[in-house]
Structure 1
Amino acid sequence: MTSTGETFPDDLLKLQERLHRAHAEHRAYLAGLPWSVEPVAGWSRGERFSHRGDVPDSPGWSDEQKETVDRMWAGIREFSIAVVDHPYWATVPRDAVVNARMQLKKQVRPAEPSDVTEAA
């Protein structure tokens, strides 16, 4: 039970956790990819404004990397739809749905990317 008195069904809690995990895995995967999807020449800090300093050339993403990102996004969309369309929300008063959804997100803590990579 949450601080607002909500009790969420186990399957909804599991869906929300899977959604958080999918987002964390996606963020971790993106962090390991080149900075640009397409090949782009880098630049020196003096050539353009860059808070990162010198920016190296980006070889772009491989077709496999692009497909992996697309597949990950598809999974995130599926979990998002499953959470939003869960039958539980029909039992929540319309004016309380947003707060209940926020409580669900807080109750099911997002996985940190480091947790995901260690578990893999």
Structure 2
Amino acid sequence: MSSHASPFPDDLLALQQQLHEAQADFHTLATAPPWGAEPSAVFTEEQVDQVEELWERIRELTMAVNEHAYWTTSPAGPDGRVNNAARGLRVVRNLDAGTDAGAA
């Protein structure tokens, strides 16, 4: 974790990092060309299984992040404070990863 203080609990930050990694893995696999000698080759069953497993992992992690107890303790209101906090979580993740904070 970086040296800056985060208002988010460590377990929520860890979930967000796992989600980011699963999304990156999914993107890499889903955008790779299908393997095979034929121009009309399709993804192998193994690749399809990997994509489905990653998709399921992304869904699980998204739910875990969205349903984390932190969000029930964050002040909510019409000014979007919870929404702003969620945006802040993505920024913290990007700062920790050393990436552009605007690329969430």
Shorter-chain TM-score: what band? 0.7 to 0.9
Unaligned runs of 5+ in 2: 98-104
Aligned identity (percent) is 38
Q: Is 2:91 aligned against 1:106?
A: yes
RMSD: 2.4
* 4+ residue segments displaced more than 3 Å: none
The structure with higher relative contact order (CA 8 Å, sep 6+) is 1
Q: Is 2:64 aligned against 1:79?
A: no
> How far is 1:94 from its partner?
1.6
Unaligned runs of 5+ in 1: 35-55, 112-120
> How far is 1:76 from its partner?
0.5
Q: Is 2:42 aligned against 1:60?
A: yes
Contact kept? 2:6, 2:92, Cα under 8 Å: no
Alpha-carbon distance between aligned partners in 1 of 2:39 and 2:75, rounded to the nearest angstrom: 53
Residue of structure 2 in register with 1:69 after alignment: 51
Deviations 1:63-100 (A, max 9, x none): 11111100000001111000000000001112211000
> How far is 1:60 from its partner?
1.1
Amino acid at match of 1:28: T
More helix by share: 2
- The structure that has the greater radius of gyration is 1
Contact kept? 2:15, 2:64, Cα under 8 Å: yes
> How far is 1:7 from its partner?
0.6
SS at match of 2:94: coil
Q: Is 2:72 aligned against 1:90?
A: yes
- TM-score, L = length of structure 1: 0.65
Contact kept? 2:19, 2:61, Cα under 8 Å: yes
Residue of structure 1 in register with 2:100 after alignment: none
> How far is 1:33 from its partner?
3.2
- TM-score, L = length of structure 2: 0.74
Residue of structure 2 in register with 1:46 after alignment: none
